[in-house]
Amino acid sequence: MIAIGSDHGGFGLKEEIKKYFEKEQIKYKDFGTFCEDPTDYSDIAAEVSKAVAEGGFGKGIIICGTGIGVSIAANKIPGIRAALCTDPYMARMAREHNDANILTLGGRVVGIGLALDIVQAFIDSPFSNEKRHENRINKIKAIEDNYIKNNFTEC
């Protein structure tokens, strides 16, 4: 099951991706936004990321105008590895090398056809499970753990 969300800048692309999911019978939950009224990308990024980090969803997709804001916000949530991808190769590498669990897209950057190819590559590509990649991801986890442990005790 895929958690999907966007701000107003990504709303149009989110709706196109949902149509694609319906056609391909890919299960998803839409976390909003549900119209083009301005909304804060940080809020929707936090909601989708929390849902993915808590384990209810295998993957997430978050879209804003550029994909940058939602990517920055999503990567603040422990356990989230959000990757901003602008082509299918990046999406495949994000899965195979980085075990990314969230794809972020720029609704004002990529066209619909390219975005759907990126989404499909992200969904289809497994993590490689190679030791060198596992080690690097574990080092990212160690940074997270260390920061969380020390965050409230140091100025």
The verdict on 5 binding ligand RB5 (CB under 6 A) reads: no
The verdict on 32 binding ligand RB5 (CB under 6 A) reads: no
The verdict on 49 binding ligand RB5 (CB under 6 A) reads: no
Q: Are 71 and 81 contacting, i.e. CB atoms less than 8 angstroms apart? A: no
Q: Which two tokens stand for residue 134?
A: 């596992």
- Which of these is catalytic: 8, 35, 97, 155? 97
Q: Which of 65, 83, 110, 118 forms a contact with ligand RB5 (CB under 6 A)?
A: 65
Q: Are 51 and 60 contacting, i.e. CB atoms less than 8 angstroms apart? A: yes
* Interacting positions 69-108 with ligand RB5 (CB under 6 A): 69
> Catalytic: 97?
yes
SS (H, E, C) 87-103: CHHHHHHHHHCCCCCEE
The verdict on 39 binding ligand RB5 (CB under 6 A) reads: no
Contacts 24+ apart (CB under 8 A), 78-85: 78/53, 78/144, 78/148, 79/52, 79/53, 79/144, 80/49, 80/52, 80/53, 81/137, 81/140, 82/49, 85/118, 85/122
| Closest CB 46 distance from ligand RB5, rounded Å | 14
Q: Which of 53, 68, 123, 137 forms a contact with ligand RB5 (CB under 6 A)?
A: 68
* Interacting positions 9-28 with ligand RB5 (CB under 6 A): 9
Residue 130: which of 88, 95, 78, 91 has the closest Cα?
Answer: 95
| Closest CB 29 distance from ligand RB5, rounded Å | 21
| Closest CB 44 distance from ligand RB5, rounded Å | 10
> Catalytic: 64?
yes
Active site residues: 64, 97
Interacting residue ranges for ligand RB5, rule: CB under 6 A: 7, 9, 41, 64-66, 68-69
